[in-house]
Amino acid sequence: MSKYFSKEKWSYLKYTISHPMDGYYWIRHRDRGSVPIAILLVILFSISFTSNRLLAGFVVNDLDPRGIDSLFELLGVLSFYLILCVSNWSVTCLMGGEGRMKDIAIAIGYGTTPITVMLVIGTIVSQFVADNEQAFYTLIVAVGIAYGLIMMLIGIMQVHNYTLGKTLLTLIITFVAMLIIIFLLLLLSNLLGMVYNFFHSIYTELIFRA
């Protein structure tokens, strides 16, 4: 455990955030990153995302708290993360990407950090804004999201040793692959449900016959 959460790994996360180009390069080539930390960061992101939706100030928050389920959102974020990693890996495998699965997971996971931080700051700031100061809140959150996305983009680019154009192209294909994966999963679950129903009905039939 201490191997994954060592002090060096944490300080390297800091370095990656301030120097994404170099940071991600050495993550790929010197194993300076840590997958458990990345997963932890994604979980933290989910928590900050939900708490922002639930706790942001009345002036900026127009969401119905009855429609927000933190556990459901955590599951959603994690499964989105998983599918994104898997589909990016499967696409880049075919397109000459050098990154391993764990590099992709780290690239995306570390990239959520600025979003998490800015969402927390935004949630706190939102308690103290009136309606004409909403722009501050929006700016804080937007900066976080923009930096996070840029970090993820650079991460994917560096771990695969791609050019920017090729990264964008693979990302588009990644999203198509995600849709295909989701479709297949739905199909699978549907078919499995049918199989289950089939056996279940045989079972009930037998029960009623006996």
* Separation of alpha carbons 128 and 134, rounded Å: 10
φ/ψ of residue 124, rounded to 5: -70, -45
Q: Is the CB of 30 or the CB of 64 nearer to other proteins?
A: 64
- Residue 7 sits in the site that holds other proteins (CB under 8 A): no
Q: Find out whether 45 and 74 touch, Cβ atoms under 8 Å.
A: no
- Least distance from C-beta 129 to other proteins, angstroms? 9
Restricting to residues 169-188, which ones interact with other proteins according to CB under 8 A?
Answer: none
- Least distance from C-beta 64 to other proteins, angstroms? 5
Interface pick for other proteins out of 35, 39, 40, 59 (rule CB under 8 A): 59
Counting Cα atoms < 13 Å in the Cβ hemisphere of 122 gives 29
* Stretch near other proteins under the rule CB under 8 A, chosen from 2-10, 57-65, 71-79, 108-116: 57-65
Residues in Cβ contact with 153 at an 8 Å cutoff, skipping those fewer than 6 apart: 167, 171
Interface pick for other proteins out of 18, 58, 71, 206 (rule CB under 8 A): 58
Restricting to residues 64-83, which ones interact with other proteins according to CB under 8 A?
Answer: 64, 66
Q: What is the contact mask toward other proteins in residues 122 to 151, using x (rule: CB under 8 A)?
A: ------x-xxx-------------------
Restricting to residues 21-40, which ones interact with other proteins according to CB under 8 A?
Answer: none
Task: List residues near other proteins by CB under 8 A.
Answer: 58-59, 64, 66, 128, 130-132
